[in-house]
Structures are given as C-alpha cells and as structure tokens.
C-alpha cells in the first residue's frame, strides 16, 4: 500500500469561497478517481505534550490518501480531477508538506 500524506496550513486570509472550492475539488477527486482506496482528513489537536513545542510550523490540517501501489498513486496524480485540486490547493496554502510512503502492517522492524 502507498500512502500520500499532506500536511498544510491555509493562508490566513483565504476567503470562504476559496475554502469551499478547495473542499469541493477534494470531494470531486475522491468521487472520480478510482485508484483512491481510502482517505482520511483531520485537523490538528494539541494536548500539552512537549513535542508540540518542537514544531516550527503549525500544519493545521492533514489528508492521507491510500492506494494499492505506486501505479495507483500515479493515476491519481495524473487524473484531471487531481489537476483541479492541485491548482486550488497550491493557491490556498501558506505552508505544506507532501510525502508518499510505502506502508505495511507490522512494527517498525518490518520497514527498517
């Protein structure tokens, strides 16, 4: 399995209609791109742990999309619905990280 992990911080002055358009584009991608096997989105929570102070950027949101394999990820990235999502996303964020991971079940020893 391959996970596409996106952490992002929207621009503080992002208008409500721009946020809505980004959400709509994401929803369209989830509906129309068949290689997406699972998706999760979330908003950061803090609870007073010391490691929270180590973060240099407060990435307020995250999205994780899962694919069967790298070909599924590539199909997603090349799909017209992703092109629209990417255009809206890249104009909406102040900071972002995007990483792709090959994911397996098991402990850390299984990947190291």
Q: Is 46 left (phi over 0), alpha (psi -120 to 50) or beta?
A: beta
Domains defined along the chain, listed by start: 2-104 (3.30.70.100)
Contact (Cβ atoms closer than 8 angstroms) between residue 30 and residue 79: no
Q: Among 86, 42, 46, which Cα is nearest to 62's?
A: 42
Over the stretch 58-111, which tens digit does the pLDDT of each residue have? 999 999 999 999 999 999 999 999 999 999 999 999 999 999 999 988 877 777
Cβ neighbours, 10 Å, residue 103: 13
Q: 56 falls in which pLDDT band (50, 70, 90)?
A: confident
Distances (CA, A) of 83 to 4, 51, 78, 105, 106: 15, 35, 7, 31, 34
* The model's pTM: 0.90
What is the rounded distance in angstroms from the CA atom of residue 101 to the CA atom of residue 103? 6
């Amino acid at each position: 399995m391959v996970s596409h992990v996106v952490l992002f911080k929207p621009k503080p002055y992002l208008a409500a209609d721009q946020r809505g358009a980004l959400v709509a584009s994401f929803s369209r991608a989830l509906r129309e791109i068949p290689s997406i096997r699972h998706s999760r989105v979330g908003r950061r929570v803090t609870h007073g742990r010391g490691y929270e102070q180590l973060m240099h950027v407060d990435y307020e949101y995250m999205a994780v999309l899962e694919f069967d394999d790298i070909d599924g990820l590539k199909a997603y990235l090349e799909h017209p619905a992703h092109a629209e999502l990417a255009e809206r996303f890249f104009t909406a964020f102040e900071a972002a990280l995007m990483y792709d991971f090959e994911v397996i079940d098991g402990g850390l020893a299984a990947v190291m």
